[in-house]
Amino acid sequence: MRAVLILVVVLAIGLVVGDRVAVVVAQNAIAGMVADRYELPQQPDVRINGIPFLTQAFDGEYAEIDIRVGDWTGHDITVRDLDVTLTDVSAAVSDVVDRRTENLVATTATATAVVPYDVVQGFAPSDVESVAYGPDGLSATGKFSVAGLSVPATVLFTVAPVDDGIEVTPVSVQATVGGPAVPLAVLRRTLTFVVPLRQLPLGARLTAIEPAADGLHATAVARDVRLSDLP
């Protein structure tokens, strides 16, 4: 009886170790796919969620795969902390191990990233001297042209995803103490601009933008993603 118990324990340990080894191999293979597809300087950190892994692999169905890329540059824009979550992924284990992407499909890909404010400022009109986030929200300071005068002021903005990227729109203006009033209507015409971040990797299109202390937090979503179809 004791020998049987020992054998059961050994087999259980072997299955657990084998499961963990297999998931590492699969994660490295997916990381290699993504790195090759997007010409990344280093492989992203990939995590296939769910235990055990082998049952998912044999079924060719994975509930969730997380891909942490870090910094990413696309269309001359660099973002930080790029994370992608794939849900309901279908892929044969042989395809994953051999890095064949034609059959790897995700029902949903959700990407999140941070657009730093120095990147945002790079697309702002030249009157804008700085862009930052504070207690009142997203704001910019500068000297703005009003009726031929250069008027120092602080402008508060809202942000929203649009077809061309992230639209930044003035919503209020505070002139410097003692300075002339600045009409908001004038600044809406001259200070509304777009940061041309149309999508994030895996074809994910922007769905939400949230200002924070470290930058604009962007969320993008794609559906029915097939890795082999990506540019």
pTM: 0.81
pLDDT tens digits, residue range 88-102?
988 776 766 665 655
Could you tell me which of 189, 230, 216, 226 has the C-alpha nearest to residue 104?
226
Q: Is the pLDDT of residue 15 over 70?
A: no
Q: What is the 3-state secondary structure (H, E, C) of 123-168?
A: CCCCCEEEEEEECCEEEEEEEEEECCEEEEEEEEEEEEEECCEEEE
Whether the pLDDT of residue 86 is over 70: the answer is yes
Distance CA 128, CA 7 (A): 72
State yes or no: pLDDT of 178 exceeds 80: no
Closest C-alpha to 77, from 158, 231, 194: 194
50 pLDDT tier (thresholds 50, 70, 90): low
Task: Tell me the range of 23-27, 103-107, 134-138, 225-229 where mean pLDDT is highest.
Answer: 134-138
Could you tell me which residues come within 8 angstroms of residue 64 by beta carbon, excluding any fewer than 6 positions away?
48, 49, 50, 85, 86, 87, 89
The answer on pLDDT for 17 being more than 50 is no
Distance of CA 7 to the CA centre of its chain: 47
Please tell me whether the peptide bond between 201 and the residue prior to it is cis, using omega within 30 degrees of 0. Answer: no
* pLDDT band with cut points at 50, 70 and 90 for residue 150: confident
Please give the pLDDT value at position 189.
Answer: 83
Task: Look at residue 7 in the predicted model and tell me its pLDDT.
Answer: 31
Rounded to an integer, the average pLDDT of 47-58 is 69
- Judged against a pLDDT cut of 90, whether residue 113 lies above it is answered with yes
What's the confidence (pLDDT) of residue 8? 34
Binned at pLDDT 50, 70 and 90, residue 185 comes out as: confident
Comparison of pLDDT for 168 and 90, the residue scoring more: 168
DSSP state of 179: S
> Ranked by mean pLDDT, which of 26-30, 43-47, 56-60, 72-76 comes out on top?
43-47
Whether the Cβ atoms of residue 69 and residue 81 lie closer than 8 Å to each other? no
